[in-house]
Homo-oligomer: A and B are copies of this chain.
Amino acid sequence: MLKYQQIALEIEKHIEENELQQGDKLPVLETLMAQFNVSKSTITKSLDLLEKKGVVFQVRGSGIFVRRHKRRGYVSLLSNQGFKKDLKDFHVTSKVIEMDVRKPTQEAADNLNIGLHDDVYFIKRVRYVNGQTLCLEESFYNKSIITYLNNEIVSESIFHYIKEALGLKVGFSDMYLHVDKLNQEEAAYLGLKEGAPKLTVETIFHLTNGQPFDFSKVTYNYEQSQFFIQANNELL
């Protein structure tokens, strides 16, 4: 982790621990430079990163302010740090239903840019929050990139393993959302009635070199899931 990223994390931690609220003003640039003993360009990079992450907003000529979403128990759609971070006061668990090496479906092959004869790790799991079903997840990992997975890894955070153990750099992702009605199988796994509302989120995760490595399809229990997204200036 680079210096400016470390400082960004420290500022974020400071905001959380002191429960600073939306609109609270942070110290001026000079104070932060002195506090962390770094150059102006480093602290500027830290603040730009925090702005991109939706932790602060900068008002030209006026200062740096805290940006916080106000509602508790919402899961960020733009974070793969997973539910554990957003739902940190909740108890999140996983149950692995299927895990094997197989050939991809046409849909998975298309989304992963691989052939029908290439191998993928297929993982199907149900995730729970406080004992209630949160979602049903089906993931296809390109086996030529994610060379090894086992039950233990899959029960915990797969992304943590990908980054820390395999040393891969996660770049960007494309997400597609649909709302529809649960089919019989999904309803059974989620403990809901067939025909109840569902949110399906398909995500294609890419490495920093643009190569897709994971195609996942997550079906959420609508009673348990609330999502937030923080959007910035440039995206509007």
The 8 A CB mask of A52-73 against B (1 = contact, 0 = none) is 1110010110100101011100
**A165 is an interface residue with CB less than 8 A from chain B:** no
Q: Mark A200-236, 1 if CB is under 8 A from B, else 0.
A: 0000001011100000000010100111111111111
Interface contact B229-A171, CB-CB below 8 Å: no
Closest residue on chain B to residue A234 by CB atoms? B52
Size range of the chain A interface in the assembly: 35 or more
Check: A84 CB closer than 8 A to any chain B CB. no
B174 touches A230 (CB 8 A): yes
Q: Is A177 located at the chain interface by the 8 A CB criterion?
A: yes
| Interface bits A166-198 vs B (CB < 8 Å: 1, else 0) | 000011111111111100000000000000111
Cα distance, A77 to B180, chains bound together (Å)? 17
Which single member of B53, B180, B233 contacts A234 (CB below 8 Å)? Answer: B53
Assess whether A235 is in contact with B78, with CB atoms less than 8 Å apart. Answer: yes
Answer whether residue A23 sits at the interface, using C-beta atoms and an 8 A cutoff.
Answer: yes
A86 to B140 CA separation, bound complex (whole angstroms): 28
Kindly state whether residue A151 has any CB partner on chain B within 8 Å.
Answer: no
Q: Is the CB of A199 within 8 A of B172?
A: no
Which of B80, B199, B233 has a CB less than 8 Å from the CB of A236? B80
Contact across chains for B180 and A233 when beta carbons are under 8 A apart: no
Contact with B along A66-104 (1 / 0, CB 8 A): 010111001001111100000000000000000000000
Contacts of A173 in B (CB 8 A): 230-231, 236
B59 & A230 in contact (Cβ 8 Å cutoff): no
Which residues on B sit within 8 Å (CB–CB) of A74?
176
Q: Given the known inter-chain contacts A59-B209, A174-B69, A197-B180, please indicate yes or no for A77 contacting B230, CB distance below 8 A.
A: no
Please, how many angstroms separate the alpha-carbon atoms of A77 and B177 in the complex?
Answer: 9
B236 touches A170 (CB 8 A): yes
The answer to whether A49 has its CB under 8 Å from any CB of chain B is yes
A69: chain B residues at CB < 8 Å are 174, 176
Closest Cβ of chain B to A108, distance in Å, is: 14
> Chain B contacts of A198 at CB under 8 A?
179, 197
Closest 9 CB pairs of A and B: A197-B197, A179-B222, A177-B227, A175-B229, A179-B199, A78-B235, A78-B231, A52-B234, A173-B231
8 additional contacts, CB 8 Å, given A78-B235, A172-B233? A53-B234, A59-B209, A78-B231, A172-B231, A178-B227, A179-B197, A179-B220, A229-B229
